[in-house]
A and B are shown apart, each in its own frame.
Chain A
């Protein structure tokens, strides 16, 4: 059963996942850009997979290409679940 999609739940999953891609936990915030965190396109593809497994929300490659910040990613997942 997928976890209910709330901004808080998505933010937690995203924040928890980012360090495995090499992001420094101290730098992770909603305003941080993936570029600053050194999170690349393959990392984002993997993050999409983690989100799909957790929330059952599928993100398309086109969607993921547009997001710049951690907050963008969280908002995108929340909007796709609606």
Chain B
């Protein structure tokens, strides 16, 4: 089965970095894209403008995935773009790094809530239109951290590893309805969120460079495409070889 013409892709945390690149890549592939943001309205508007300038369709979608109303996000996305949400990219993420012994409860909770629990709530809601359509694409943006250790990120690693476990299990539940659930696991990608980390890390990357947001977006674009209809429950590493 192929994607309906009016299908909407909802990308969380899409105002900048990897999320913005994903939104642009999905729009280039014909999706109507809801560009979700929490605080960077200018970034979200710039992403929408870039999509529209390239001939695509997109709308900004304000909302904090960790604390806001999931129902409102979906209703607004579908009203703004005139179709059902048949692709969900759980990209919104935060970091609050520290050695485990120094991680405050609040920093544990914030990272787990945004990076994992919010992704579950959005995924659960997205299954309604996807089951109805017998078509859906869910892509969770995980990380090489989680499958691999990274000192100082116990909360982030737990959330991202959890995301991969959730991806696998939900993929089994809905596979027979034409819905795929996959993860991409970026390594070190040059974004605002990682700019303070990159200096020493590059030496540990087999490719000897940081990745670009567009390289992660290309993997998401594939997993969301009709070409990937038989790919589900997997994690695609985009990490210059780090996890191999």
The 6 tightest CB contacts between A and B, nearest first, are: A46-B131, A49-B128, A42-B173, A42-B174, A49-B131, A42-B177
The chain B residue with its CB closest to the CB of A52 is: B128
User: B203 within 8 Å of A by Cβ?
Assistant: no
Chain B interface category by residue count: under 10
Q: In the assembly, what is the distance between CA of A32 and CA of B174, in Å?
A: 25
List residues of chain A with CB within 8 A of the CB of B128.
49
Enumerate A42-57 residues with CB–CB distance to B below 8 Å: 42, 46, 49
Number of interface residues of A (CB under 8 A): 3
Q: In the assembly, what is the distance between CA of A64 and CA of B176, in Å?
A: 20
Kindly provide the distance from the CB of A11 to the nearest chain B CB, expressed in whole angstroms.
Answer: 22
Residues of B within 8 A of A (CB): 128, 131, 173-174, 176-177
Q: In the assembly, what is the distance between CA of A49 and CA of B141, in Å?
A: 28
7 contacts between A and B (CB under 8 A): A42-B173, A42-B174, A42-B176, A42-B177, A46-B131, A49-B128, A49-B131
The chain A residue with its CB closest to the CB of B177 is: A42
Kindly provide the distance from the CB of B76 to the nearest chain A CB, expressed in whole angstroms.
Answer: 19
**Chain B: interface secondary structure?**
helix
Enumerate A27-47 residues with CB–CB distance to B below 8 Å: 42, 46
A55-81 near B? 1/0 per residue, CB < 8 Å? 000000000000000000000000000
The chain A residue with its CB closest to the CB of B134 is: A20
Q: In the assembly, what is the distance between CA of A25 and CA of B131, in Å?
A: 21
List residues of chain A with CB within 8 A of the CB of B131.
46, 49
List residues of chain B with CB within 8 A of the CB of A42.
173-174, 176-177
Q: In the assembly, what is the distance between CA of A46 and CA of B136, in Å?
A: 15
Kindly provide the distance from the CB of A48 to the nearest chain B CB, expressed in whole angstroms.
Answer: 11
List residues of chain B with CB within 8 A of the CB of A46.
131
Q: In the assembly, what is the distance between CA of A46 and CA of B174, in Å?
A: 11
Q: In the assembly, what is the distance between CA of A49 and CA of B129, in Å?
A: 10
Kindly provide the distance from the CB of B136 to the nearest chain A CB, expressed in whole angstroms.
Answer: 13
List residues of chain A with CB within 8 A of the CB of B177.
42
List residues of chain B with CB within 8 A of the CB of A49.
128, 131
The chain A residue with its CB closest to the CB of B131 is: A46
Kindly provide the distance from the CB of B67 to the nearest chain A CB, expressed in whole angstroms.
Answer: 23
Q: In the assembly, what is the distance between CA of A42 and CA of B131, in Å?
A: 10
Kindly provide the distance from the CB of A13 to the nearest chain B CB, expressed in whole angstroms.
Answer: 15
Q: In the assembly, what is the distance between CA of A11 and CA of B206, in Å?
A: 62
Kindly provide the distance from the CB of A42 to the nearest chain B CB, expressed in whole angstroms.
Answer: 6
Q: In the assembly, what is the distance between CA of A42 and CA of B130, in Å?
A: 13
Q: In the assembly, what is the distance between CA of A42 and CA of B177, in Å?
A: 9
Kindly provide the distance from the CB of B181 to the nearest chain A CB, expressed in whole angstroms.
Answer: 14
Q: In the assembly, what is the distance between CA of A42 and CA of B174, in Å?
A: 8
Q: In the assembly, what is the distance between CA of A49 and CA of B177, in Å?
A: 15
List residues of chain A with CB within 8 A of the CB of B173.
42
Kindly provide the distance from the CB of A56 to the nearest chain B CB, expressed in whole angstroms.
Answer: 14
Q: In the assembly, what is the distance between CA of A10 and CA of B174, in Å?
A: 26
Q: In the assembly, what is the distance between CA of A42 and CA of B175, in Å?
A: 11
Kindly provide the distance from the CB of A25 to the nearest chain B CB, expressed in whole angstroms.
Answer: 20
Q: In the assembly, what is the distance between CA of A27 and CA of B176, in Å?
A: 23
Kindly provide the distance from the CB of A73 to the nearest chain B CB, expressed in whole angstroms.
Answer: 18
